[in-house]
C-alpha cells in the first residue's frame, strides 16, 4: 500500500529523495482516487528500489495542494531531484503511470 505523507514529510521524502518519486494528490471522498489506489500499489511494487510512490491527502495538506496547483483529484506528479518531471490528471491506466518514469 502506498504511504500517505503530509507537509511535514514532503521535503525529506519527496524533494530530497535520491530516486524518482510519484506523488498522488488525492481525497478520501474521491471515487476515481479510490479506483486508482490499487493501480498505484502495483506501480509501487513494480518500481520498488527504483522509485517511491506516496500519496498526499489534499484535505489534510492543503498547503501542498496549493503549492503544486492541484485543482482536481487525482493529480499525479513525478518528482526527480526535487523538481517536477511529469504530471497527469485523473485515474489513468497502469501503463500510463509506468510511462511517467520513462
> CA 36 → CA 30, 55, 65, distances in Å?
10, 11, 18
Which position among 30, 43, 58, 76 bears the catalytic label?
Answer: 30
Q: What residues are paired with 24 via a beta bridge?
A: 55, 76
33 is a catalytic site residue? yes
The domains found in the chain, sorted by start residue, are 3-99 (3.40.30.10)
- CA dist 62 and 100 (Å) reads 24
Q: What is the mean pLDDT of residues 50-58?
A: 97
2 pLDDT band, cuts 50/70/90, is confident
User: For position 10, what pLDDT does the model report?
Assistant: 97
User: Which residue out of 23, 33, 44, 52 is catalytically annotated?
Assistant: 33
- What is the reported pTM? 0.95
Amino acid at each position: 500500500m502506498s504511504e500517505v505523507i503530509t507537509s511535514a514529510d514532503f521535503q525529506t521524502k519527496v524533494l530530497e529523495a535520491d530516486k524518482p518519486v510519484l506523488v498522488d494528490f488525492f481525497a478520501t471522498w474521491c471515487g476515481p482516487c479510490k479506483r486508482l489506489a490499487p493501480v498505484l500499489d502495483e506501480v509501487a511494487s513494480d518500481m520498488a528500489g527504483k522509485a517511491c510512490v506516496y500519496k498526499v491527502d489534499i484535505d489534510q495538506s492543503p498547503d501542498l495542494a496549493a503549492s503544486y496547483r492541484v485543482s482536481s483529484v487525482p493529480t499525479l506528479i513525478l518528482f526527480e531531484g526535487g523538481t517536477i518531471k511529469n504530471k497527469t490528471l485523473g485515474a489513468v491506466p497502469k501503463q500510463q503511470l509506468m510511462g511517467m518514469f520513462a
